[in-house]
Amino acid sequence: MAALTSGTPAGTRLGEVLAAGPPGTDADVAVAAGLVAEAGGLARTAQAAADHLATALAALDSVPLVPGPAVELAEIARFVVTRDR
């Protein structure tokens, strides 16, 4: 949604590509993914994920948990948000 509502030429083109139907080939998926990135969709999504992570970690810190499991939960959350693939 971030890419589609970006107001950029790439966002407009992405809307056109998706209006034609779901991507049918790996090349179609690559084109759509490139347009999402070009329209700023990845950056906006990464920022939203970082914001949610910060909220989750603050919530985790606010409850009395055994330190070991709390650290493990925080590590898992950070991994999920910051992984490349």
* In the chain, where the domains are located: 9-39, 47-82
- Which of 25, 26, 33, 24 lies closest to 14, judged by CA? 33
Whether the Cβ atoms of residue 1 and residue 15 lie closer than 8 Å to each other: no
Q: Give the span between the Cα atoms of 64 and 74, in whole angstroms.
A: 14
Q: Give the span between the Cα atoms of 71 and 32, in whole angstroms.
A: 37
pLDDT score recorded for residue 57: 96
Which pTM value belongs to this model?
0.74
Between 84 and 33, residue with greater pLDDT? 33
List, for residues 51-79, the tens digit of each pLDDT value. 999 999 999 999 999 989 999 999 999 99
Mean pLDDT of the residues in the chain = 93
